[in-house]
Amino acid sequence: DAKTTQPPSMDCAEGRAANLPCNHSTISGNEYVYWYRQIHSQGPQYIIHGLKNNETNEMASLIITEDRKSSTLILPHATLRDTAVYYCIVMGGGADGLTFGKGTHLIIQP
């Protein structure tokens, strides 16, 4: 699976959009971009995933660049409950376990 690079931490004001970047320059054609988050002392939570088109669901939007070498997770109206570590994971279509990097610790400020 391709390696990902994320900033270690980010701050965002409550009510504003939180934009979390992820670089995955070695992604291959059949690999998807998945985003999970882990709120402190809880199990991770699936957020969204995509291959090459932008995706949106009730939690977030995922913007993938045309060359697929980077992506951005957007939380449109961040709340205090969105404070968590966000993981960007690239993987192919196999039923494999996830490789978690260090992620981005997003802190939502009141």
Q: Which residues bind other proteins (CB under 8 A)?
A: 32, 34, 36, 38, 41-46, 49, 87, 91, 93-103
From the CB of 80, what's the least distance to other proteins, in Å?
Answer: 20
Cα separations (Å) of 57 from 10, 48, 54, 94?
22, 7, 11, 23
From the CB of 4, what's the least distance to other proteins, in Å?
Answer: 12
Which among 23, 7, 21 is positioned nearest to 70, based on CA atoms? 23
Nearer to other proteins, 31 or 82 (CB): 31
Which among 71, 81, 78 is positioned nearest to 35, based on CA atoms? 71
From the CB of 15, what's the least distance to other proteins, in Å?
Answer: 27
Nearer to other proteins, 8 or 110 (CB): 8
Nearer to other proteins, 89 or 108 (CB): 89
Distance of CA 69 to the CA centre of its chain: 14
